[in-house]
Amino acid sequence: MNRDAFRAGVRDALPLLLGIVPFGLVSGVAAVDAGFSLAQAMGLSVFVFAGASQLAALSLVQEGAPALVVVATAVVINLRMGMYSASLAPHFREYTTRWKAAMAYVLTDQAYALSVARYRGGDVDKRPYYLGVALTLWVVWQAATVVGLVVGGGVPESWGLSFTVPLVFLALLVPAVEDRATGVAAAVGAVAGTLGAVYLPLHLGLLAGGLCGVAAGLLVDNPDETDDAGDETAAGGETAGEPPRDADATEEVSE
Amino acid sequence: MDALTIWLVILAIGIPTFLVRFSFIGLLGRLDDVPDSLERALRFVPAAVLAALVAPEFVAPSGSLGNVPLDALAGGLVAAVVAWRTEDVLATIASGMLVLWAVRFWPF
């Protein structure tokens, strides 16, 4: 295995840790709020290893949602990784199934975005570079979750530490709004999600809001302009990208 | 939720999540891309789901629109501006929490 490529991956992942560490801490805090034991919280973090879905599942458990709704919501959130898997597949074609499985397990938004950007430039040993990025994120994510679990349990409820959960999602939302169609998806998702949270039974609001947002995005989307949609998605995760337009930061007040 | 249910939920999320990640890398490596219609839909999932997660926490954290709490609303709005300007997770959390605490604990 090429150590230089692995080191390059680790080095490229380091700036992302500024975002991963607080995100992991918050997910540890959220696990305490949801009543998870240390083993259960780490089980979630290790078996799922997908922050947004972990946080969404923990919020729903904490609110007393039925198990089926928790599972369905978390899985829908992770469906986007099918897109990353497809995009990386040609690059990983030569590896054994065992390596492919290991590399698929540590696939995240960030590992995908960094690797695809580096592969596009050519000239890197793909497996060690990918593992350098992905394993760095994995280790730091697990460590941050543990710290969050320990710290989160000792903070009084009145501090409202669980408010950090939507704040993390907010920070992830902004780069996800990369053009008009994704802006519409976000605005509709916000309104439908809020109405669903208030009026729908079984905590189905999040699922309903997400699906309405996707449908709205598809409706206003012009397929002719999406030829490079995959590239935009790849860049959106960690570069500034283009500044979000009108529908960006105001959707919270739309209802 | 009891301990067994929690473990089942963890597995029921973890296994399909792995299969989604493994899908094209492991099984369908011959296809160079996802079907276009699916890719078009998946592109909207992050924006739609994240917005649906965030908005109710700021305007209806108690599950009702009748009595919107000022602290969460103010914290959320300020954090939204900071997130938009900086795209920085840490700055977003810090600004939102500071405003939440300022409104909640300020002796008006």
Of B44, B93, B104, the CB nearest to A182: B44
Q: Is A16 left (phi over 0), alpha (psi -120 to 50) or beta?
A: alpha
Highest mean pLDDT among A116-125, A180-189, B23-32, B85-94: A180-189
Residues in chain A with CB shorter than 8 Å from the CB of B55 are 189-191, 193-194, 209, 251-252, 254-255
Instruction: List chain A residues with CB under 8 Å of B13.
Output: 44, 47-48, 53, 57, 70-71, 74-75, 78
Residue-wise pLDDT for A77-108, tens only, equals: 888 788 788 878 888 988 999 999 999 999 99
Question: Which pLDDT tens digit goes with each residue over A53-69?
Answer: 998 899 899 989 999 99
Q: Based on the domain organization, do B27 and B43 belong to the same domain?
A: no
Query: Span A39-58, mean pLDDT?
Result: 94
- Residue B73 sits in the same domain as residue B40: yes
Domain boundaries, chain A: 3-156, 177-225
DSSP A242: S
Q: Is the pLDDT of residue A240 over 70?
A: no
Range of lowest pLDDT (A147-151, A153-157, A187-191): A153-157
- Are the C-beta atoms of residues B30 and A86 closer than 8 Å to each other? no
> Which of B45, B12, B16, B38 is CA-nearest to residue A86?
B38
- Supply the ipTM of this predicted assembly: 0.79
Quick check: B86 and A252 in contact, CB under 8 A?
no
B9 with A213: Cβ contact below 8 A = no
Interface of B with A in 6-35 (CB under 8 A): 6-14, 16-18, 20-26, 28-29, 31-34
Say if residue A245's pLDDT is above 50. Answer: no
- Taking the C-alpha atoms of residue B27 and residue B31, their distance in angstroms, rounded to an integer, is 9
What is the model's pLDDT at position A224? Answer: 60
Say if residue B9 is in the same domain as residue B44.
Answer: no
B95 and B44 fall within a common domain: yes
pLDDT of residue B34: 58
Report which of residues A218 and A163 the model is more confident about.
Answer: A218
What residues in B contact A186, CB-CB < 8 Å? 47-48, 50-51
Residue by residue, pLDDT tens for chain B (108 residues) are 899 999 999 999 999 999 999 998 987 655 555 577 777 887 787 788 889 888 988 888 777 777 778 888 899 999 999 989 988 878 888 999 999 989 888 876
Amino acid at A20: I
B15 and B47 housed in the same domain: no
**pLDDT number for residue A223:** 63
Q: Tell if the pTM clears 0.95, that is, is over it.
A: no
Q: Does one domain contain both B65 and B16? A: no
Range name among A158-162, A193-197, B33-37 with the lowest pLDDT average? B33-37
Q: Do A77 and B41 touch (CB under 8 A)?
A: no
Phi (first) and psi of residue A213, to 5 degrees: -65, -45
Tokens standing for residue B32: 């160079």
Q: Is B103 on the interface with A (CB under 8 A)?
A: no
Q: What is the reported pLDDT for A242?
A: 38
Chain A residue at shortest CA distance from B22: A104
Task: Tell me, yes or no, whether B6 and B40 share the same domain.
Answer: no
Distance, in Å, from the CA atom of B81 to the CA atom of B67, rounded to the nearest integer, reads 23
Same domain? B59 vs B102: yes
Mean pLDDT calculated for residue range A197-223: 83
Q: Same domain, yes or no, for B25 and B57? A: no
Residue of A238, A203, A201 whose CA lies nearest to A118? A238
Do both B23 and B65 map to the same domain? no
Specify whether the CB–CB gap between A39 and B9 falls below 8 A. no
| Cα A197 from Cα B53, distance rounded (Å) | 9
Which pair of tokens denotes residue A254? 């739309």
Q: Which of A102, A4, A49, A168 is nearest to B25 (CA)?
A: A102
- A237 falls in which pLDDT band (50, 70, 90)? very low
Do B102 and B74 share a structural domain? yes
Q: Which domain holds residue B55?
A: 36-107
Q: Confirm if B61 and B81 have CB atoms less than 8 A apart.
A: no
The reported pLDDT for the residue numbered A255 is 37
CA distance A8 to chain B (A): 23
B9 or A231, higher pLDDT: B9
For the segment A42-52, the average pLDDT, to the nearest whole number, is: 94
Residues of B in contact with A183 (CB under 8 A): 47
Give the side-chain half-sphere CA count within 13 A for A221: 21
Residue in B closest to A178 by C-alpha: B47
Give the count of domains, chain B.
2
CA distance A220 to chain B (A): 11
